[in-house]
């Protein structure tokens, strides 16, 4: 029997799915999980297209969304905008 590794990016094929996935990641309040979710969405949408829409280089996007990434707020907002989602806060 052959198994394959699960890749969330393969299932992020709609705006609703992406928003739900990112919302769940942000609700956990875990920076590493949020970064991984953002990476999954960027891969689902295509890293080259995401970099162009985020107005950063592809290399910078890979670095920001990588395991040791620590993007600026400006980069985060640009990436979220490119993904078609907005950041909101509630209390």
In a domain, residue 11? The reply is no
Largest CA distance in the chain: 48
Which domain, by its residues, includes 50? 22-83
pTM summary value: 0.92
Structural domain contains residue 14: no
Domain assignment of residue 15, yes or no: no
DSSP 48-80: HHHHHHHTS-HHHHHHHHSTT----HHHHHHHH
Domain presence at residue 16? no
pLDDT above 90 for 90: no
pLDDT of residue 30: 96
Q: Could you tell me if residue 12 is inside a domain? A: no
- Residue 23 scores a pLDDT above 90: yes
State the pLDDT at residue 39: 98
Query: pLDDT tens for residues 30-86?
Result: 999 999 999 999 999 999 999 999 999 999 999 999 999 999 999 999 999 999 999
**Domains contained in the chain, number:** 1
What is the pLDDT, as a whole number, of residue 42? 98
């Amino acid at each position: 029997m052959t198994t394959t590794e699960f890749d969330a990016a393969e299932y992020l094929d709609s705006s609703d799915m992406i928003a739900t996935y990112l919302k769940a990641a942000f609700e956990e309040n875990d920076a590493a999980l949020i970064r991984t979710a953002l990476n999954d969405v960027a891969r689902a949408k295509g890293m080259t297209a995401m970099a162009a829409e985020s107005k950063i280089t592809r290399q910078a996007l890979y670095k920001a969304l990588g395991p040791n990434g620590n993007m600026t707020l400006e980069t985060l907002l640009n990436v979220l905008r490119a993904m078609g989602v907005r950041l909101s806060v509630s209390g």
